[in-house]
Amino acid sequence: MTMLRRRFSLLALTASMIGGALPAAAQMPTEAPVRYDPDHLPADFHADRRAAVRAAIPDGAVALVFGAPERQRSNDTNFQYRQDSDFYYLTGSEEPGSALLLVPGGVDVEGRRVEEILFIPPRDPAAEVWTGRRFGIERAEGQLGLQMALDNTKFEEIARRVLSGRTILVEDLPGGVAEGSDLSGQLAVFHEVAGRPDMVDGPPSPNVDTETLRQVLTGLREVKTPAEMERLRRAIDITAEAHREVMRQVQPGWAEYQIEALIEYTFAREGAQYTGFPSIVGSGENSVILHYETNRKVTRPGEVMVIDIGAEVHGYSADVTRTVPVSGRFSPEQRAIYDLVLAAQQAGIDAAVGGAPMQATHAAASRVLLRGMADLELINGPQDTQGLRRFFMHGTSHYIGLDVHDTGFYGALKPGMVITVEPGIYIPEAEDIDPKWWNIGVRIEDDILITDGAPVLLSGNAPRSAEDIEALMGR
């Protein structure tokens, strides 16, 4: 009996005991087939990524990628599991205790010659009653499209045969692995076969290459495929909707955590699986803290609030920031800073063209901020870069994708890259600053697709201009 059916059965029993009937809204719904979210990346996407990695592996080498370990939160409770981004990129598997072995040219295993083997935990019906169904090797091969999937209990046997005498391409090895877990055993075998059982605490063995695989995956992940863009656009749209919900509903007296709850409810309602990072909701004095995550203050009339959030859809995270006036309208000083940051952001977006250096967005935004802050007499002239650094102390752009600060080379911009453009001004209380400017923090961040032509604003569904924000809040 499902929990839903049990709930209605108990309700019906209670109603019969008191001589009543179920209210109309509580009638048993019509049974419907169980449906799970099907919108994962297709198997051929991951197969193509693995093929690209295999093609880049030097002769005589193999690549080994470990999944993320489960991590203990406290006592017998783990943090919610999230797979390692590179491992997910190559496999689509979200199973802990897993490893992927890529062998260009192939290796004979159990009567088959294969170039890729996914090691995953064996199914355990008794454990699945408590923790949910595991994927199992049959589904891994059938649904994920792997050439071969094996129980991870066979990792030691295969690894000793395949890794010995070869150059092994690995990235950063997972840390914080619980002793006695599936992954700890696989890592121990790797260290032994690689010739350095204490490799975690010392330099790698000569037959371990820790750079090539990182470079290959960074090059692949930097430019997004159409399949990736579908998930990323969805994450961005959900994030923009959450910003609109805040603008529609927030009022002075709401606690930051209540606003965070509204945001993350909207994420879940629209189908996002996670937040891409802890939601930042900073009002008043907290608006000038770049990565404020406590979210416990109660908002007050007249404050501005920086909201930096990102929904995650099948691994891909948005990153969109808006600054809103808690009372629905900006004060003259808040509006002056807001309009300046918006102008700087637009200059940065205009600079985000294919072939330009990644730093072009920061240079363009900084030029606007220097002039504007000088006009407001908050810095000593348009050449006072050190003075600007006091109020604008971070970069303007980073990649987004499977990680909110996604991997990339930070060189020339290429079509298919997705970056943020996010200048800001943060004015704390200080003796040498006129109090009318105190605790005005403004950051405006949007997600931008690089193309062969003009940059594409992906997050424009979240109002950007002060006029549009005030209009939506005024409704």
Residues 405 and 356 sit within 8 Å (Cβ to Cβ): no
Residue 375 CA neighbour count, 13 Å, CB half: 10
Q: How far is CA 93 from CA 18, 100, 235, 299, in A?
A: 51, 10, 20, 42
Cα 246 to the chain's mean position, in Å? 21
So which residues are the catalytic ones?
A: 76, 291, 308, 319, 394, 398, 405, 422, 426, 443, 445
Name the nearest CA neighbour of 330 among 320, 319, 341.
341
d(Cα 121, Cα 436) in Å, to the nearest integer?
Answer: 60
d(Cα 65, Cα 108) in Å, to the nearest integer?
Answer: 20
Q: How many CB atoms lie within 10 A of CB 152?
A: 22
- Cα angle value 340/369/263 (rounded, 5°): 55
Contacts of 10 (CB under 8 A, 6+ apart): none
The two three-digit tokens of residue 363, written as one number: 């240079």
Residues 262 and 249 sit within 8 Å (Cβ to Cβ): yes
d(Cα 166, Cα 258) in Å, to the nearest integer?
Answer: 55
Coil, strand or helix at 181 = coil
Coil, strand or helix at 334 = helix
